[in-house]
Amino acid sequence: MNIGLPQELLHIDWIADLKLMLEQMNPGMAFVHVSAGEAPAYLNLEEDSCFPFKKMIRNALALHKEVDALLLPRVVEMDGFLACPNFRAFPDIVELNTKNISSNEKKPIVSPIIKVKNNKELKAIAKTTAKELNQILDFTSLPKLAAMPKTNQNQSALNKTDIQHQDLSKTIAIIGHPYVLADKRLNNGVPELLNIYGYDTVFSNNVPFEELSELARSLDYFAKKMYWRSAREIIGAFFFFSHINRSAGIIHLAPFNCGIDALLRIELMSMHKRIEGAPRFMTIVCDEHTQRDHVVTRIEAFLDMIYGIRIN
Amino acid sequence: MKVTFPHLGSMYIFCKAIAETAGIEYVLPRPTSNRTREIGEYSTNESVCLPLKIILGNFVEALEDGADTIIMVGSGPPCRLGLYDRIIKIVLKDMGHDFRWLTIPGIFNWQAFMQNHEETKELRKELSFANFAKFPFAILMGWKKMNWCEHLEKTAARIRAMAIRPNEVDHMLEHTLEAIDKAGTMSSLSKAGKEGLEAFESVEKNKRPPLKVMMVGEVYTIMEPSINMDVEKRLGHLGVIVERSSYFSTHIRKGSRLDRKLLKKRKQFLDNAGRYLKYDVGAECNFSVAETIQAADEGYDGVVHVYPFSCMPENNAASVLSIAGPDLNIPILPVVIDRQDMGLRIDTQLEAFVDVLRWRKQGQIL
């Protein structure tokens, strides 16, 4: 049985863990993340929405043809902090847009609410989701979740590299939403370009979220706490790579029209002004129209600032 | 201490009344101009929403005019409005302004209470016993004035659509709001309001039946004419009565959680929106959808969906409404607001929309 789970969601740690749990519960469940086909040309989707959101919806709709059911988690809250409002609406927007595909291609959608702080809560979500998928797809066996080997839990957390003591003086730190950092189409190939130029890269999500959130806390003020999880990740990473373990440069990758990044760009610029001898910092706004040459020019100029030019 | 506050419809009359009655000096921000917008645009970035840019511009101009304390209306997650004050403070500091800040909480919880306590620590020292003693009456006066303003605005929206000379209604509203603003006692306030209502009723009306639309969308954009490019007035001039549920008092009542009836109504709205959105997306997104459903059920001629470019919740509402419109058989006009040079574009859009509504009403198109 094939389950469609859009690739873009998989870059969120908790969703990756949810997938692992579901796979362990039923090995007959095969996940498909990227569609080989295309979404319908016309969609009821606000053109001003950010590129990752549009891409995720197109991918989900295209997956309909290739799977038996779609798993579209409604990401609301993780680790006590909120997701962007777009994630809350995501399954509904996909479902409403199924009117744009033929009725025999439509597949059932399962959209568990992701409000999760620990593995116990995620297990409960996985259990209900598996049950729901089982009902829809009539899986023959559904092993108990408790049978899952403990070592396989929270894989994504285990994958975090310990970069606290690594020498980052010749490394460029790239900060941004996890799906932007991981998806070449969404990040306009910036990490790849840096590697081609011979520079190492390190990402905001290489540092455990708890550490980043703690760093971001210094800017919280009573009710004015940065309430989006990804924003805390980005602010924390900026602190980390400019104070704790300084990198040679920091690049913030922001999708065009991302409401969260619009505010973060202001905060990060302001923070950068206040840090003495701060690493070079640049924001690249990525969208579906950005041409590679434009990005190359900016990257080259940025690297020149760091390594190429010494002005006395 | 010289306080200032942003423009948000007739909210300035409310804030001014409180400041004047309690004997606190204030600086009224200049009317929003192209310069105000430019200050906001040049000090932020393209993806920041227009309300933030304009509020920032309002504050910069008020600080230039001598204000030293900013009073801002707060809000909560998950939309960006909840962090406006955090971001505006950063920008103002980076611009080199010196100021003090007080947020009126949008949601009354312990964090908001602690923040308020912290922010007013210094301010309280500058206020005398007389200032404090006058506060209850000042708030009552402000509340009464705000209710009168909103009542008059609603009446003007109705009369304007039927008036032979809609400009006359605009002038009457302006004149009456000025009288409300100047009223120093409850009786003079009541007198000014009643005179305004009488004046509206005396307006010469045409025989053409007006159209009725519901305005839904993001709160700041709906409430502040300088942000929404006066959509309400423009539609009124085209013979359309514009109704909306978003008023400053609505949001105070909602935030205080004291008005059970309003909270029940909002819960009902959330349930109604469930037909399209199965979860609360945040801010006014689900309410924009629910109010559209309500407008269709109650026989409104159309819906105008007003929101700023890059607004996250309302972008989702717009996607939903593009499906809900044909589904509910009600015309919906999305008006996305951002730059300053949009007056003519909006006129063209609104005129075409009103033509469609009128033809539909006359049975010429389905």
CB B94 to CB A86 under 8 A?
A: no
Tens digits of residue pLDDT in B342-355 = 788 999 999 999 99
CB B94 to CB A256 under 8 A?
A: no
- Count interface pairs A-B at CB distance under 8 A: 141
Helices (H), strands (E): how many in chain B?
Answer: 15, 8
Please state whether the peptide bond connecting residue B78 to the residue before it is cis, i.e. omega within 30 degrees of 0: yes
Q: Are A97 and A63 in contact (CB under 8 A)?
A: no
**Whole-angstrom Cα distance, residue B146 to residue B167?**
23
Nearest to A61, CA basis, from A13, A114, A109: A109
Of the candidates A99, A111, A222, which has its C-beta nearest B118's C-beta? Answer: A222
Smallest Cα distance from A82 to chain B, Å = 7
Smallest Cα distance from A260 to chain B, Å = 7
Tens digits of residue pLDDT in B188-237 = 999 999 999 999 999 999 988 999 999 999 998 999 998 899 999 999 99
* Tokens at B341, concatenated: 């040079």
Q: Are B220 and B80 in contact (CB under 8 A)?
A: no
Residues 6 or more apart whose CB falls under 8 angstroms from that of B256 comprise B108
Kindly report the length of chain B: 366
- Is the pLDDT score of A282 beyond 90? yes
**Whole-angstrom Cα distance, residue B315 to residue A50?**
10
CB A223 to CB B105 under 8 A?
A: yes
Q: Are B159 and B203 in contact (CB under 8 A)?
A: yes
Nearest to B202, CA basis, from B251, B249, B164: B164
- The residue written with tokens 């990758």 in the block is A253
Residue range B108-122: mean pLDDT, rounded: 80
User: Judging by DSSP bridges, how do beta strands A113-116 and A81-82 pair with one another?
Assistant: unpaired
In chain A, residues with a C-beta closer than 8 Å to the C-beta of B101 are none
CB B276 to CB A96 under 8 A?
A: yes
In A, minimum Cα distance to B106 occurs at A223
In chain A, residues with a C-beta closer than 8 Å to the C-beta of B83 are 224, 226-227, 263
Q: What are phi and psi of A175, to 5 degrees?
A: -120, 150
Q: Is the dihedral of CA A182, A185, A186, A189 positive or negative?
A: positive
Q: What is the pLDDT of residue B366?
A: 63
- The residue written with tokens 């003020």 in the block is A221
Query: How far, CA to CA in Å, does A239 sit from each of A175, A263, B128?
Result: 11, 16, 43
Q: Is the dihedral of CA B117, B120, B122, B126 positive or negative?
A: negative
- Is the pLDDT score of A299 beyond 70? yes
Half-sphere exposure in the Cβ direction for A2 (13 Å, CA): 13
Q: What is the pLDDT of residue A225?
A: 87
- Is the pLDDT score of B105 beyond 80? no
Residue range A214-224: mean pLDDT, rounded: 86
Domains of chain A, residue spans: 2-158, 171-308
Q: Judge whether A226 is closer than 8 Å to chain B, CB to CB.
A: yes
Smallest Cα distance from A8 to chain B, Å = 18
Any bridge partners for residue A284, and if so which?
Answer: A253
In chain B, residues with a C-beta closer than 8 Å to the C-beta of A265 are 45, 47
- In which band, very low, low, confident or very high, does the pLDDT at A157 lie, cut at 50, 70 and 90? low
Tens digits of residue pLDDT in B16-35 = 999 999 899 999 999 999 89
Q: What is the pLDDT of residue B260?
A: 85
Smallest Cα distance from B289 to chain A, Å = 12
**Whole-angstrom Cα distance, residue B300 to residue B291?**
11
CB A86 to CB B312 under 8 A?
A: yes
- Is the pLDDT score of B244 beyond 70? yes
Domains A2-158 and A171-308 agree in fold: yes
Smallest Cα distance from B127 to chain A, Å = 24
**Whole-angstrom Cα distance, residue A56 to residue A6?**
6
Q: What is the pLDDT of residue A140?
A: 58
Smallest Cα distance from A77 to chain B, Å = 10
Residue numbers of B between 277 and 316 with CB closer than 8 Å to A: 277-283, 285, 309-313, 315-316
**Whole-angstrom Cα distance, residue B101 to residue B69?**
6
**Whole-angstrom Cα distance, residue A23 to residue A17?**
10
* Tokens at A92, concatenated: 């509904």
Q: Are B308 and B318 in contact (CB under 8 A)?
A: no
Query: How far, CA to CA in Å, does A101 sit from each of A9, A24, A43, A65, A118?
Result: 22, 32, 10, 9, 37
Q: Judge whether B250 is closer than 8 Å to chain A, CB to CB.
A: no
Kindly report the length of chain A: 312
**Whole-angstrom Cα distance, residue B232 to residue B222?**
9
- Is the pLDDT score of A153 beyond 70? no
Please give the residue that has the higher pLDDT: either B361 or A308. Answer: B361
Q: Which CATH number fits domain A171-308: 3.40.190.10, 3.40.50.11900, 3.40.50.720, 3.30.70.1900?
A: 3.40.50.11900
Any bridge partners for residue A253, and if so which?
Answer: A284
CB A48 to CB B310 under 8 A?
A: yes
Q: What is the mean pLDDT of chain B?
A: 91
Of the candidates A89, A263, A270, which has its C-beta nearest B316's C-beta? Answer: A89
CB atoms within 10 A of CB B91: 23
- In which band, very low, low, confident or very high, does the pLDDT at A33 lie, cut at 50, 70 and 90? very high
- Is the pLDDT score of A184 beyond 60? yes
- In which band, very low, low, confident or very high, does the pLDDT at B130 lie, cut at 50, 70 and 90? confident
The CATH number of A2-158 is 3.40.50
Tens digits of residue pLDDT in B245-285 = 888 888 788 777 778 888 888 889 999 999 999 999 998 99
- Is the pLDDT score of A312 beyond 60? no
- Is the pLDDT score of B97 beyond 90? yes
Looking at residue A244, the DSSP 8-state letter turns out to be I
> Is residue B333 packed enough to be buried (19+ CB in 10 Å), middle (13-18) or exposed (0-12)?
buried
Alpha helix stretches (DSSP H) within B163-259 = 166-182, 186-201, 219-223, 231-237, 248-256
Q: What are phi and psi of B120, to 5 degrees?
A: -90, 0
